Structures are given as C-alpha cells and as structure tokens.
Amino acid sequence: MNSKITVETIRGMKARGEKVAALTAYDYPTGKLLDECGVSLLLVGDSVGMVVLGYPDTTQVTMADMEHHVRAVARAKPNALLGGDLPYHSYETVETAVANAQRLVAAGAEFVKAEGGQEILPQVRAIVAAGISFCGHLGMLPQHVLEEGGYRIKGKKEDERQRLVTDAKLLADAGAFAIVLELVTPPVAAEISKVISVPTIGIGSGPDCDGQILVTHDLIGSFPWFTPRFVKPRANCAAEIRSAVAGWKSSLDAVGR
C-alpha cells in the first residue's frame, strides 16, 4: 500500500520534478475512485456550488455546504492529500478565517484553500499559526466573479503580472505549501513557478506549473451543459449515462409487451 500523501510530500514533488495531479471531489464514491487512480491531491472545491448544487457561481456556497461535502469525501479515507475551500465571506477577518478553517479540519480536511494575495496575508499567517496547512489561490478568483463581471485571463497587463508575482512570493513566505494559479497567462504562470519554492498548481494556466488541477466533472464529461475552453474532456460520462438509462427504459418496455 502506498504511504499517505502529506503536505510535505506535495512540497517535495517540486524539488523532485514530479507533477502534482489534483482533482476535485465532492462525494464518497468519487473520492474513493480518484484515490484508487493515484491522484496526489483531492480538493473539495467550492465549485461544488455549480457542478453539484446548481448555483450559477461559487458565491452562494456556505460553510455548511463545504463541511457536508468534505465529510463525505473524508469517509473514503483517501491516500491523497485532502483539502477544502474556504467559501465566500468565510475568511473576511482573522478570527473567522481561523474558526472556519478549524471547522473544515474537523470535517476531515488536511488543508484549506482561500482566494487572494496581499489582502488576506493576516488570515493566512493566522491559519498557519493555528497549525493548519494552507494552499493559496491566485489569478482568476471565482468568488469575485460578480464584482469582476465574468471570468478572464490574468497577467496580460504588466501591473497584473507584477501583482501576481508579488502575491505568490508573499503567500509562500506566509507559509502556503502550494498555490493554485487559475487562468493566469502561461508566461506569467511559468515565471511564478520559477521564482517561488512551493509548487504551483495550474488550472487553465499553461503547462509549466508544477502540477495541474481540474474540476473532475469537466475532465470526465459529466457536466455537459458547460465545459471550460481550456479543458479537453477525457471521457463522455453524460453520454454513457443517457445511453444506460435509455437502454434500461427500453428493456422495461420490452418486458411490458
């Protein structure tokens, strides 16, 4: 049996030149299946709001939602490192950030993730000081999609590039063990990956990050109503489900004749 993957395992992968393979999971069977596939890191992301709960974006996801889904995946007892997102408005102060991070850990998370750079450094330092592992998230910040008016690639402008590089360095210095880069223009993602000591985990940010993360529903084609442009589905589970149900219904009709 493989040894349990820890935060230190993920940190060491960068030094060894091993890519971090990360995927989202929101329930027990998915977590168990992905873990059996040897995924290094499982994230109970607040993307659960869109692909499971039917919300238009992540801003309506609550702490109760996150605790519920973290508990479900944690019951799979994955070998992979398991983390959970701190949802919108759950880390606005140092006190609420630590308290809510502790709630996710109590539910089974081995690390927490939050969006932002310089503006959340006090929260990051407090979470780490409380003995909780922290993963950063820079670039496109889905929890800010309403105020930004949509999703767009970050880092094309020089001021954005400078801010991203600075924020990444600050998060690493504050104790983040890894940083997700979402929709960061690939040259900037590559630059960040070179100048910080902790792994970068990209999503729509090019091939030069230290790892990649995808929403599992996008990877396997089980949310056919929308697929991000940067994702190449490796399966079409929606078509398989429709085919299976159609076949089952036909068999019922045949029996009834």
pLDDT tens by residue, 20-50: 999 999 999 999 999 999 999 999 999 999 9
* Structure confidence at residue 220 (pLDDT): 97
What tokens appear for 218 in the block?
């996008």
| Alpha-carbon gap, residue 255 to 155, rounded angstroms | 60
Going by pLDDT thresholds of 50, 70 and 90, the confidence category of residue 223 is very high
* Structure confidence at residue 59 (pLDDT): 96
Q: Are 31 and 78 in contact (CB under 8 A)?
A: yes
Q: What does pLDDT average to over the chain? A: 95
Going by pLDDT thresholds of 50, 70 and 90, the confidence category of residue 150 is confident
Going by pLDDT thresholds of 50, 70 and 90, the confidence category of residue 257 is low
Average pLDDT (109-129) is: 98
Q: Which range is least confidently modeled, 150-154, 196-200, 241-245?
A: 150-154
Convert 149-167 to b/e letters by CB count within 10 Å (16 or more is b).
Answer: eeeebbbeeeebbebbbeb
Percent of the chain with pLDDT over 70: 99
The domain locations on the chain are 7-256
| Alpha-carbon gap, residue 208 to 227, rounded angstroms | 22
Beta-sheet strands, E only, within the chain: 20-24, 41-44, 81-85, 111-113, 134-139, 178-182, 200-203, 211-214
* Structure confidence at residue 149 (pLDDT): 72
Nearest to 120 by CA among 106, 107, 102, 101: 101
> Does residue 1 carry a pLDDT above 60?
no
What tokens appear for 86 in the block?
């701190």
Give the end-to-end CA distance of the chain in Å, rounded to a whole number: 52
Domain 7-256 has CATH 3.20.20.60: yes
* Residue at 199: amino acid letter: P
> Does residue 226 carry a pLDDT above 60?
yes
Q: Which of 67, 110, 115, 182 is catalytic?
A: 182
Q: Are 225 and 203 in contact (CB under 8 A)?
A: no
Going by pLDDT thresholds of 50, 70 and 90, the confidence category of residue 151 is confident
Greatest alpha-carbon span in the chain: 71
Average pLDDT (130-147) is: 93
Query: What CA dihedral angle connects 37, 38, 43 and 45, to 10 degrees?
Result: -20
pTM, two decimals, is 0.94
Phi then psi for residue 84, to 5 deg, are: -140, 150
Q: Tell me, yes or no, if 36 is annotated catalytic.
A: no
| Alpha-carbon gap, residue 117 to 26, rounded angstroms | 26
> Does residue 256 carry a pLDDT above 90?
no
